[in-house]
């Protein structure tokens, strides 16, 4: 990386993946090989390589020309970004076409890199690993819908079941059905009959991967006026997903609200993607549909990590990265985690493992807005956290993180935070966000965001008191301002504030 790029992490050389899919050809370059990799460049071209492959047996010349032109541009871009490690993958269209091998040979010439033609089962496995990399402790079935195929595979934590690939991608269904939704429905039902992956999904989550399903989710967000426009980990209740899928199948795509957010080339495939999703829900009976923005590419990166890195929490990994990049003292964020550990343990408040990981993430993110004007630090921190490219956190969790850090800067009033985003958090989460925000307001006024202070100034509850201990050298900190902040925290946890000096 350029030596003066102070906003980049020192995580080794950047890496890139080029994905030659049935509908799109995409380049994603990542900052480095990490547990929670951050894209530094992302571009796709809708080439439609899989169009009519199942009826003609070949890739169309115009689609190949468009793909090769995109690959030539991607090679220049990778050279410009000084990326030497470039992985090139090809999926269903190249697998199924009679001229696929010839096309891939040309792809290798253009990119200067070998092309890995992955099997359907490997594609399913990589998609599942992408979900594992981006969703904390997933439990259900992953479905990756591309232009040519649909892959289904069971996942529970880091354990993967056996995968299956089916010719049910949007382009493939459009081709095989002759453009008839009714005929496509029969093809889908026949393909799903007796599948163990369908049976395994009952009462569990269905993780939807792929551009067409992301486009459907974007439209669903618009239809319901959803306040957070972050696709990853967007959850749709199963019943709601069925109703929306039926709407998309029934109406002209151009009549849907916010259809302009979907490219014209993808719009004809929406009805087929909705049909497949509807049948999965009707037959598999999942509890909910969870959209994953991470799939094959992220799965490939995850596969290359060592076991210790794979076991890391992706949310905490990225929170630590932002702490390093943006905080006045990254060590202070780590100390704040331990300081609030001791405080919470002394209260009567119960805390689950999920509560604790979210609290730690909030502590690591608490100082990322310090460079903003003091009047806007809370607002800026709130927006950064709510819209960051986090993995391993759902939308209510995002709301909690953003609110806790906003309270830390702006006080405990809700007047300056988004009322719509607050709706995403549960009452319990809102309460915990206020408590943590109030505690952080105490921590920062005694430490000035510098390390070494919090370990020596414990905060704890005992005998009805909320007591802050200050050693003699910090006695001058015992001001009215500090006491008022301690009093605000004491009020919301039902204690009497006290500062103990010496």
Report the share of the chain in percent with pLDDT over 70: 98
pLDDT band at 6 (very low <50, low <70, confident <90, very high): confident
360 located within any domain: yes
**Mean pLDDT, range 448-463, rounded to an integer:** 96
At residue 348, the pLDDT reads: 87
pLDDT band at 421 (very low <50, low <70, confident <90, very high): confident
Average pLDDT of every residue of the chain: 94
Looking at the fold, whether 448 and 492 belong to one and the same domain comes out as yes
1 located within any domain: no
Instruction: Say how many Å lie between the first and final Cα of the chain, rounded.
Output: 50
pLDDT of residue 22 exceeding 60:
yes
Looking at the fold, whether 64 and 151 belong to one and the same domain comes out as no
Looking at the fold, whether 453 and 376 belong to one and the same domain comes out as yes
pLDDT of residue 1 exceeding 60:
no
At residue 12, the pLDDT reads: 86
C-alpha span between 421 and 427 (Å, rounded): 13
Query: What pTM value is reported for the model?
Result: 0.93
**Mean pLDDT, range 23-39, rounded to an integer:** 94
Structure tokens at 335: 């100390």
pLDDT band at 2 (very low <50, low <70, confident <90, very high): low
- How many CB atoms neighbour CB 114 within 10 A? 11
C-alpha span between 85 and 3 (Å, rounded): 19
Domain count, the chain: 3
Looking at the fold, whether 91 and 22 belong to one and the same domain comes out as yes
pLDDT band at 502 (very low <50, low <70, confident <90, very high): confident
Q: What is the pLDDT of residues 247-283, one digit of tens each?
A: 998 887 777 766 776 777 778 889 999 999 999 999 9
Q: What is the pLDDT of residues 127-152, one digit of tens each?
A: 999 999 999 999 999 999 999 999 99
Looking at the fold, whether 176 and 278 belong to one and the same domain comes out as yes
Looking at the fold, whether 489 and 340 belong to one and the same domain comes out as yes
Q: Which of 153, 14, 155, 152 is nearest to 86 (CA)?
A: 14
Looking at the fold, whether 88 and 100 belong to one and the same domain comes out as yes
Asked if 322 contacts 380 with a C-beta cutoff of 8 angstroms, the reply is no
Domain end among 67, 93, 117 = 117
Q: Which domain holds residue 405?
A: 313-501
Looking at the fold, whether 58 and 113 belong to one and the same domain comes out as yes
């Amino acid at each position: 990386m350029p030596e003066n790029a102070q906003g980049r992490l020192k995580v080794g050389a950047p890496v890139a993946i080029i994905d030659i899919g049935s509908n799109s050809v995409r380049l994603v370059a990542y900052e480095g090989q990490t547990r929670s990799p951050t894209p530094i460049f992302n571009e796709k071209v809708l080439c439609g390589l899989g169009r009519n492959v199942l009826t003609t047996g070949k890739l169309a010349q115009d689609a190949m020309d468009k793909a090769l032109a995109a690959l030539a541009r991607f090679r220049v871009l990778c050279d410009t970004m000084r990326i030497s490690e470039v992985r090139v993958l090809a999926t269903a269209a190249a697998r199924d076409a009679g001229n696929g091998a010839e096309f891939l040979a040309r792809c290798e010439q253009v990119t200067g890199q070998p092309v890995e033609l992955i099997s359907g089962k490997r594609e399913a496995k990589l998609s599942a690993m992408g979900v594992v990399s981006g969703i904390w402790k997933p439990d259900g079935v992953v479905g990756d819908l591309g232009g040519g195929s649909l892959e289904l595979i069971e996942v529970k934590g880091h354990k993967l079941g056996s995968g299956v690939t089916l010719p049910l991608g949007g382009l493939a269904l459009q081709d095989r059905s002759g453009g008839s939704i009714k005929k496509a429905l029969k093809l889908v039902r026949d393909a799903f009959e007796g599948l163990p992956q369908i049976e395994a999904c009952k009462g569990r989550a269905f993780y939807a991967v792929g551009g067409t399903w992301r486009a459907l989710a974007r439209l669903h967000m618009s239809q319901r006026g959803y306040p957070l426009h972050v696709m990853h980990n967007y959850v749709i209740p199963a019943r709601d997903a069925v109703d929306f899928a039926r709407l998309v199948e029934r109406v002209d795509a151009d009549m849907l609200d916010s259809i302009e957010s979907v490219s014209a080339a993808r719009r004809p495939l929406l009805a087929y993607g909705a049909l497949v999703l509807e049948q999965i829900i009707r037959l598999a009976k999942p509890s909910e549909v969870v959209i994953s923005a991470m799939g094959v590419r992220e799965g490939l990166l995850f596969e290359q990590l060592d076991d210790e890195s794979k076991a890391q929490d992706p949310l905490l990994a990225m929170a630590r990265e932002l702490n390093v990049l943006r905080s006045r003292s990254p060590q202070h964020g780590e100390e704040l985690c331990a300081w609030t550990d001791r405080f919470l343990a002394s209260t009567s408040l119960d805390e689950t493992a999920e509560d604790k990981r979210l609290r730690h993430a909030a502590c690591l993110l608490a100082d990322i807005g310090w460079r903003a004007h003091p009047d806007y630090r809370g607002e800026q921190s709130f927006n950064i956290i709510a819209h960051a490219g986090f993995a391993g956190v759902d939308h209510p969790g995002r709301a909690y993180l953003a609110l806790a850090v906003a309270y830390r800067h702006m006080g405990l009033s809700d007047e300056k935070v988004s009322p719509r985003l607050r709706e995403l958090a549960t009452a319990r989460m809102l309460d915990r966000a206020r408590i943590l925000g109030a505690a952080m307001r105490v921590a920062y006024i005694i430490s000035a965001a510098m390390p070494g202070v919090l370990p020596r100034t414990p905060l704890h509850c005992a005998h009805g008191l909320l007591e802050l201990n200050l050693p003699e050298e910090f006695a001058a900190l015992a001001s009215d301002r500090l006491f008022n902040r301690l009093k605000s925290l004491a009020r919301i946890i039902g204690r009497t504030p006290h500062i103990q000096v010496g």
